[in-house]
Structure 1
Amino acid sequence: MKGDKVETKSYDVIIVGAGPAGMTAAVYCLRKGLRTLVISKDIGGQVNWTTLVENYMGFMRIEGPELMQRFKEQLKGENGAIIEDEAINLWHRKEGFVVNGKKSGEHLGKAIIVATGKRPKMLGVVGEESFRGKGVSYCSTCDAPLFRDASVVVVGGGNSGVQAVIDLLASNARQIYLVTNLELSADHVLVDKISNHQKVRIYTYHQVTAIHGDNMVTGVAIRNLQSGKEEQLRVEGIFIEIGLEPNSEFLEDLWKNNLGEVVIDCHCRTNISGIFAAGDVTHTPEKQIIVASGEGAKAAIKVWEYLMNVGSTRNEERKYIPPAERGEVYAPIKGG
C-alpha cells in the first residue's frame, strides 16, 4: 500500500460500500461526531434486488429498495457525505489511508470500514457474457417483468433461484425451467410454492453448458450430470442465481479466505490496524440484512475506539498483530 502524497480532503473515517452494513456504520460514526465519508458505486447494494423483506425487525413486510431508501434517508438526516463512485484501490501513507475513487480521485481517512458486500456469481459458460442484458440476467426482481409470456431458464436451487421462479410466475412467464446441479436446497416454504406448479419444470443434477442466440437469447444447452445426456431448451431468457462473491479484489493487502471474503476478528478488525470490515464482504457467517447492519454498527464503534486510543500516534508505522493475540476469530485464516 504505497502512494505519492497528494492534496485531498481528510476524514476521520471512510466507509467503502453503502448497503446495510455501510450505511449503518456511517450513521453510528456520524453520531459519534466523526467526520465521515461514504463512497459506493451503488446505494443499497444487493438488498435492492430483493422483492420482499419479511425478517427485518420493525417491518412485517417491506420491499428491499424501500428499506434501503429508508436507510439512505436516515444517513442523510445525519448530514452524511455520500459519493457515488467505485473504489478501485486502497493504500496508506503517513497521514492515514487513501481510498482512490474511479471518478472522484483520492480521499484521505484516518480509519477505513470496508463494507462492499457481494455480487452475483457468473456461470462461466459460452454465451453468458455476450448475451448479458440480451436475455441473460442476474436479477429477477429487476428483470422478471420483461419476460411476460416467455420461456425462461433459472439456474440455482437455493433461495435465490426458487425466488426467481416465484418472481417469474408473478410476471406471467409462459414456462420456467429450474436447473440445479444438486437437489433443491431452498427453504421448504419457498419450494412448496413451485414444486407442483404446471408452469415449472425442475431439472435436478443438471448443469447449463452453453447459452445460444442471435441478437438475443434463443436457447440454453443443459447436461444431465448422471447420464451425460444433453438437451436443448428453447427459451428467451436465463436467470443465473448461483450465489454471490465478495467485492474484495481491490483489497490486495487484506487477508482473505479461500472464498475471497475479508477475514476479521470479533471486533471487525482486519490484519491491518486501522482498517475494519463489516457485512457480507467478510467471512462472518449468516449473510442476512439484520446481521450486516449489526456488524456495521459494531465496526463503527470499534473505529471510534481505535481513533480515541491511537490519537496523535496514528502516524507511526502500523504493526500487524495476529488475530490469535488480539481476540477471537470467526474462522481459520487463509492468506489471499
Structure 2
Amino acid sequence: MLDEGLKTQLNAYLQNLRQPIELVASLGEDAGSKEMLALLKDVAGTSDKVSLNLAGNDARKPSFAITRAAGDAPQDKVGVRFAGLPLGHEFTSLVLALLHVGGHPPKVDAEVLDQVRALEGPFHFETYFSQSCQNCPDVVQALNTMAALNPNITHVAIDGALFKDEVEQRQVMAVPTILLNGQPFGQGRMDLEQILAKLDTGAVARAAEKIKTKAAFDVLVIGGGPAGAAAAIYAARKGIRTGVAAERFGGQVLDTMAIENFISVSHTEGPKLVSGLEQHVKDYDVDIMNLQKAVGLVPAKTPGGLIEVKLENGAILKSRSVILSTGARWRNVNVPGETEYKNRGVAYCPHCDGPLYKGKRVAVIGGGNSGVEAAIDLAGIVAHVTLIEFDNQLRADAVLQRKLASLPNVAVVTSAMTTEIHGDGAKVNGLTYKDRGSDETHRIDLEGVFVQIGLVPNTEWLKDSGVALSNRGEIEVDYRGETSIPGVFAAGDATTTPYKQIIIAMGEGSKASLSAFDYLIRLEPAQTAEQAAA
C-alpha cells in the first residue's frame, strides 16, 4: 500500500511517539477493507510502538480507531476513527492523529490546548471528507487533535465516496460536512480556533476583552491573505509596532487547489502556501489576531492621529496607519434557488465536492479560466457536464478551451443567462437558462451546479467610512496604494488594481506597507503609536 519512501518518512515521524498506540480495525470482505488492512499493516510495521488489532466491531466497515494502549484511565479513552482510507490530502491527517494519540504534543498555542481540555461535552463529531478535498484536512486534523486531548470528545472522519448510502441518507452534498451529536454543525473549512469559538460560548467575549487592552499600532493590517501577509512582514521588518486582524488567515487562497503561476514555484496548493505565509509572518514580531471580522473604520480626527477599526465582537483597534487587504469572495449567480440549495447541489469548489457527484449530471456556470478548469476536472468524475456562459464565447485561455473541446461528456452553451436553479425541497434537480439570442428558455435536468463567475470584493463594511469605492465596490487606490483617507492604504483583490493574482497581491501588499512607513516617518511631529494614544 505505502511505497518505501512513505514508509521511511512515516518511520521517522513515529520516532516521536511517547507511548504505545493500537490500531483497532473493523473490516469486511470488500475491496476497501483489503486496502485498509494493507495500509494498517504498513503503518504498524514502521514502529514497535504501534500494534494492530483486527477484532474491531464498528458498524462502519472498513474503519479503524486509533487508541492508546497504555491503560484504562480516562485520559487513555481516545475517540479518533477513520471510516475509509485516509490517503490523498488526508494522509497527513493520519500521521498527525497517530502522533497526537501517541502523546506527541500538537503545535498549538498552550492557551488553545487548555481551552480544548476544559470542554465538558460530550461531543461526538462526524466529518464527511473526500480524498481530493484541500479544505477537509484542516477540519479533520482539528477535530482529531481535540479528541486526542479530551476524553469527552470523539471524532470519526468518513470518506463520503466510500459510504455512498450514508451520504445519500444524510443528504451530504458538500465536503467537509461536520455533524455534532448527529446534528449539522458546519460546512467548509474550519480550523481549531473556529471550532472552539462555536463550542465555547464565552470565547468571543474573552477575545474582545483581550483586544481592548492592546496598545495602538503603528501599522494595522486588516486581512490575512497574500497581500496582508506581505504587508505585515514589510512593516515588521521596519521595527514598528505591527498587527494583523483577519477574519480567516490565508483568505481565499485556502480554497485554491492548484497554484502553478507563482514564480519560482512550479506547483503548490493553497493551504501549503498559506502555511508558509503564516510561518513567515510569525518569524517577526507581529500581533496576529485571527477570527476577527472588521465591521467599521473611523478616520483619524486630526492629521497623524489614530485611526479606529471596529470589530464584530465589539472591540476597537487603534493605529496610526491602516492597510486594508480584505480580499474577495466567490460571486453568486443571485437567481432563485441558489441560496436555498447551497451545499445541497449548489457548490463553489469542484475539487472538494466533485467526488460526491460521481456518475451524475452537473452544470458549471462561467466560461472564464475557473469555469473551464472546473468543467475539465469534473468531466473525469461525473456523467455529464454542461458549461453555461453568459457571453457569446468562452473567455478562458485557448489551451484550456482546446482541452475542453476534446472531452466527449461536456456540452458548452454560450449566450445563456441562468434564471433559476430548481430542486425538490431537499436537493437540486435542474437548472433553467434563457437563450439571450432568441429569448427562449430551456431546462436542464441535473444533480449539481458549480458556480464559477468571478469575485466580489469584501468591502461592504467600508461604505460609510469615507474610503472611496469604485462602482464595483473595489477600494480606489493610487500607484502608492493610498486610499482617499490619509493614513489608510489598501492592497490585493479588494482594490482597483487590475489582475487578481496571488503574486500581484503580494507585491501590492509590500508596496502599501512601504507607503505606510513613508507616511509615518513624514508625520510632524514624529510620534510612536503609544505616544499618539496618550
In 1, Cα distance between the equivalents of 2:268 and 2:399?
18
Q: Could you tell me the TM-score, scaled by structure 2's length?
A: 0.56
Alignment partner of 1:194: what SS? helix
Match of 1:3 in 2: none
How many Å apart are 1:11 and its aligned residue? 1.0
The answer as to 2:501 corresponding to 1:291 is: no
Match of 1:45 in 2: 251
Alignment partner of 2:505: what SS? helix
Report the CA distance shift for 1:314/1:131 in structure 2 as closer, same or farther (over 3 A): farther
Match of 2:482 in 1: 269
Deviates further, 211-220 or 77-86: 77-86
Match of 2:233 in 1: 27
8 Å CA contact 2:222, 2:228 repeated in 1: yes
Match of 2:330 in 1: 120
Write the letter of the residue equivalent to 1:273: P
Match of 1:185 in 2: 395
Match of 1:64 in 2: 270
Alignment partner of 2:223: what SS? strand
Match of 1:82 in 2: 288
Give the number of the structure whose residues are more often helix, by fraction.
Answer: 2
Q: 2:439 aligns with which of 216, 222, 228?
A: 228
Alignment partner of 2:236: what SS? helix
What CA RMSD, in Å, does the superposition of the two structures yield over aligned residues? Answer: 1.8
Q: Deviations 1:29-77 (Å, cap 9, x if unpaired)? A: 1111121111111222222222211111120111122112211111112
In 1, Cα distance between the equivalents of 2:306 and 2:413?
53
Write the letter of the residue equivalent to 2:232: A
Q: Deviations 1:60-106 (Å, cap 9, x if unpaired)? A: 11112211221111111224222222111111345511111213621
Write the letter of the residue equivalent to 2:295: I
8 Å CA contact 2:242, 2:285 repeated in 1: no
In 1, Cα distance between the equivalents of 2:316 and 2:352?
33
Alignment partner of 1:51: what SS? coil
Write the letter of the residue equivalent to 1:278: A
Q: 1:300 aligns with which of 494, 507, 513?
A: 513
In 1, Cα distance between the equivalents of 2:373 and 2:524?
49
Write the letter of the residue equivalent to 2:258: L
Match of 1:91 in 2: 298
Write the letter of the residue equivalent to 1:309: R
Q: Tell me, which stretches of 5 or more residues in structure 2 are unaligned?
A: 1-211, 529-534
Deviates further, 31-40 or 96-105: 96-105
Q: 2:344 aligns with which of 123, 127, 134?
A: 134
In 2, Cα distance between the equivalents of 1:185 and 1:267?
31
Write the letter of the residue equivalent to 1:149: G
Alignment partner of 1:154: what SS? strand
Write the letter of the residue equivalent to 1:262: I
Q: 2:461 aligns with which of 239, 243, 250?
A: 250
Write the letter of the residue equivalent to 1:166: I
How many Å apart are 1:192 and its aligned residue? 1.7
8 Å CA contact 2:475, 2:490 repeated in 1: yes
8 Å CA contact 1:96, 1:314 repeated in 2: no
In 1, Cα distance between the equivalents of 2:428 and 2:285?
46
Give the number of the structure whose residues are more often strand, by fraction.
Answer: 1
Match of 1:279 in 2: 492
In 1, Cα distance between the equivalents of 2:400 and 2:231?
32
8 Å CA contact 1:49, 1:141 repeated in 2: no
8 Å CA contact 1:97, 1:109 repeated in 2: yes
Aligned length: 309
Deviates further, 193-202 or 141-150: 141-150
Deviates further, 242-251 or 77-86: 77-86
Q: 1:173 aligns with which of 382, 387, 390?
A: 382
Q: Tell me, which stretches of 5 or more residues in structure 1 are unaligned?
A: 1-5, 316-336
How many Å apart are 1:313 and its aligned residue? 6.3
In 2, Cα distance between the equivalents of 1:34 and 1:218?
56
How many Å apart are 1:283 and its aligned residue? 0.6
Write the letter of the residue equivalent to 2:249: I
In 1, Cα distance between the equivalents of 2:493 and 2:527?
28
8 Å CA contact 2:236, 2:284 repeated in 1: yes
8 Å CA contact 2:309, 2:318 repeated in 1: yes
Q: Could you tell me the TM-score, scaled by structure 1's length?
A: 0.87
How many Å apart are 1:169 and its aligned residue? 2.9
Q: Deviations 1:245-295 (Å, cap 9, x if unpaired)? A: 111111121111111111111110011100000111111112111111000
Percent pairwise identity: 37
8 Å CA contact 2:299, 2:485 repeated in 1: no
